[in-house]
Amino acid sequence: MLETISFSQRQRLAYIDFCLLFKGAIHRQDLINRFEVGLSAGSRDFTLYKELAPDNLIYDPREKRYFQTENFLPVFEHDAKRTLVKLANDISDGFDAIGDLHFPVESASSLNVPDIFVVAKVVQAIVNKKAMSVIYTSLSSGSGARELVPHSIVDNGQRWHVRAFDRKSQSFRDFVLTRISKVTVKAEPEVHECIEQDEEWGRLIPLEIVPHPKNIKFPTAIELDYAMEEGVLTLEVRAAMAGYLLRRWNVDCTKHASLRSGEYQLWLKNRQSLADTDNLAIAPGYTAEQAAYTA
């Protein structure tokens, strides 16, 4: 049936499908406002969608919106990799609701791709500010149930993570999306579990990165690569993300620039800025006596 429908109506049907998958619900007015169609046209779109997938949505007259059902199966194919990249860059091609989802997604990755239904449930929990129960497989403890309160999707340069409050450890941590399964969205979290209480996420730290003083013979080349000003690249990054960036760029974080192999073309000049920052065991050469943990 989809092949016989006009392109513009397929866009609107795909939008309904996307909202149900990633947000869990949609108002009729959402569709009307997004595509600037009349009330009757919007009603016809929902009627047609219900014909295509009668078990996908149910209308709540009290809230005046349609909700995803437990039997929901998307009518359109939503690619996980493309969706994450578009979320990271706030890009919409008209077949989704990217522009309507306002929550942090840091960077974009071309490597491993999580399951689209896991991504959808995590996004639902973030958008609707809910907790979620998951089965998580950890390197240290294997598979087990966890209750998380997610607030952001992040990219460490290799893998997609979700930043969340972990009720097991009572702390904010990073969880690899591909290790998450069987997601169930739960009730609203407590105040101490919300993004505002994630100090490592909210705190910005300055990094002064320079060409490696011992490994680079012609530092001007590195200065050009990174658009350095007066030989220094100054960045402000979230404390929770600092370790990932330093590892991704192979930044030597030793006090005296002592990592001498060729892959270290950069050195962190203001190493002291990393004080009291977690998750730095992955930062090359950083050996501060502090706790560091990656889920």
The length of the chain is 295
DSSP 3-state assignment of 186? coil
Query: What domains lie within the chain, and their CATH numbers?
Result: 2-68 (1.10.10), 80-198 (no CATH), 203-274 (no CATH)
Q: Taking the CB of residue 288, how many other CB atoms lie within 10 A of it?
A: 16
34 Cα distance to chain centroid: 24
Residue whose entry in the numeric block shows the structure tokens 């016989």: 4
Task: Return the structure tokens found at 7.
Answer: 């392109």
Taking only Cα atoms into account, the Rg of the chain, rounded to an integer number of angstroms, comes to 23
CA–CA dist 157, 245 (Å, integer):
8
Q: Is 222 helix (H, G, I), strand (E, B) or coil?
A: helix
**Res 289: pLDDT:** 43
Question: Residues 112-132: pLDDT tens digits?
Answer: 678 889 999 999 999 899 999
Quote the tokens at residue 83. Answer: 């969706």
Return the beta strands (E) in 46-177 as ranges: 57-60, 65-68, 132-138, 142-155, 160-166, 171-176
Q: What is the pLDDT of residues 168-214, one digit of tens each?
A: 999 999 999 999 999 999 999 999 999 999 999 999 999 999 999 99
Residue 254, token pair as written in the block: 């030793």
**Burial call 253-265: b when 16+ CB within 10 Å, e when fewer:** bbeebebeeeebb
**What DSSP character marks residue 75?**
S
Which pLDDT does position 100 carry in this prediction? 56
Joined tokens for residue 137: 């497989």
Beta strands in 14-169 (DSSP E): 25-26, 57-60, 65-68, 132-138, 142-155, 160-166
pLDDT in tens, 60-110: 999 999 999 999 999 988 877 677 766 665 545 555 554 555 545 555 444
